[in-house]
Chain A
Amino acid sequence: MSKNIKLMQGNEAVAEGAVIAGCDFFAGYPITPSSEVAEILSSKLPKIGKVFLQMEDEIAAMGAILGAALGGAKVITATSGPGMSLKQENIGYASMCEIPCVIVNVMRGGPSTGLPTLPAQGDVMQAKWGTHGDHAVIAITPSSVNESLYETIRAFNLAIKYRTPVIILTDEIIGHMREKVVIPDKSEVEVLDIKLPDVPPEKYNPYNYTSGKVTPLAPMGEGYRYHVTGLIHGETGFPSQKTDVIQNAQNWLIDKIYKNIKDIEKFEEFQTDDADILIVAYGSTSRSSRQAISVARAAGIKVGMFRPITIWPFPEEQISNLSKKIKKVLVVEMNMGQIILEVQRAACGSKVYGLHIVNGEPITPDQIFAKIKEVSEN
């Protein structure tokens, strides 16, 4: 038995992934079902000379990680339900000021305090539009404990590469379930380091809206002096109300994500080659779907699945291409209908059905199989 195989929880895998990614700083406020991320990092980070900080609430924790990131730290916070709502204003600040950070949202039932201990997938649209104003975001939906670990490492890399908040959107089932994980050594995974700008301080602008390249964020204290504000700013960082600056800044926030979608996207196709019905599912719901697919295939119904791993930006192109050959699409999600709206937009050649069950219990393979039968007879 190798030392690096462990039975661990999804939340623990996120914490483990953060450490491997070189996380320097966690700030947060514990809330079910995300608390284990904080609990485990509170033990791990101080032992390796890194910082764990419990703040007075979730928005303060969000502010704390942004401050630390401006100081050059790799940062993460974790929350759930109402905690994610509280963080939104500062997530917008991170978008506007282009500060790399990772935010874990272990989804539970809502709105408000909702169902603290029970699963849901109701925060998918919030991940995209939770903070006000036009912006793009990266969000990732792991569906296993193993994937939680690796996707956390990828989240740190994407945050640094694109200077953006990256949201890891798991749910109570993935966060709390335990599975076997092979923990990689740091040398086995790609980890992006924070780099100093390649220009001297006197030539440094913290923003660049037109070159198409993401300017490295110079850590405060390294001699690079610049202004940081949530107001729309020019490339020097100082506020501006000039129409061309505003438009350039706005374009850049969207373009830096969408023009690099090939680098950011990640998905899995499962038995789509000969499928007559395509399931679109993510996170824990994709596991129920996969089991339902084997039951359906045994019953002679050819079903496949498209599983977004990067859910924002949404993989429109893949859905669009699949919908050209698979004429029935079934979206399975533990909410009243969120990603189905994106699928309907992308899969314009197909009929789109939805299975939306939100009752505190996971959607079961039996429920999905029943819906598959209904769709196949339709």
Chain B
Amino acid sequence: MIELSSRDGVRKFSNYFWLAMLCLLAFTAIAPLFFIFAYLLVRGWAGLSFAFFTEIPKPVGEVGGGMANAITGSLVLMGLSTVFGVPLGLACGMALSELKKSAIAKMLRISIDLLTSVPSIVIGLFAYALVVVPMRGYSAWAGGFALSIVMVPIVARSTEEILKLVPASIHEAGLALGLPRWKVLIRLILPGVRAGVTTGILLALARVSGETAPLLFTAFSNSFGYRGLSAPTASLPVQIYTYATSHDETWRQLAWTGALVLVFVVFCLNLVTRILTRRTV
């Protein structure tokens, strides 16, 4: 038997020391959240008014104005990206789970994995080359396209994950009824995992609602409000960026309030997904 009691004291101490360190590290990880949140609330709240949502920005130096242009722009861009991105993402998710181990599914999986890791500014460059250059100008189309590329891998992965959870016996039960495979998938399986698929879509929306980099030289910005899908379009994140880096105090205030609104929307979307997943799992 090995007895080294003097060492046991050291071991006990180092045990408690390191466990305390881990607690401290965990605290350090979440502390910035409160730090950021407190500032957002305090600085953003000050500028929160009805006008913020209804008025377009005033020129530099004038007091007042709002971010109505950016809010409508963001809604348009998110709508466009949903129209492109969600069907494509869903289809990719179904392809991943249905084509299983075929070569094409493997390549698709690698593409989607890598697509997740592409820096968003690079996606902006791509949308610029593919849409802005041929259209000879910034447009909501280009911005929506860029955002949809951000959405596709998120929707695809979550759809695949959720389809993977469906037991094979349900597939088989449907097939045993004489239903073709596509009907089994669309009519039997998908309705059952609706909540899970919605979660993926909402998470993707939460993500793109805050994306700035892909919009800088695709949707660009404007200060008048919505002027059609082929025109430059403002968005909340880009506007926040522009105003935050300006030297005008009114504009900076708008940036803080815009950030508060943006974070509120993103958090709500996350909260909804959390409630949805809790109900399904």
A joins B in a complex: no
Q: Which residues of A contact B (CB under 8 A)?
A: none
Binding site for A on B (CB under 8 A): none
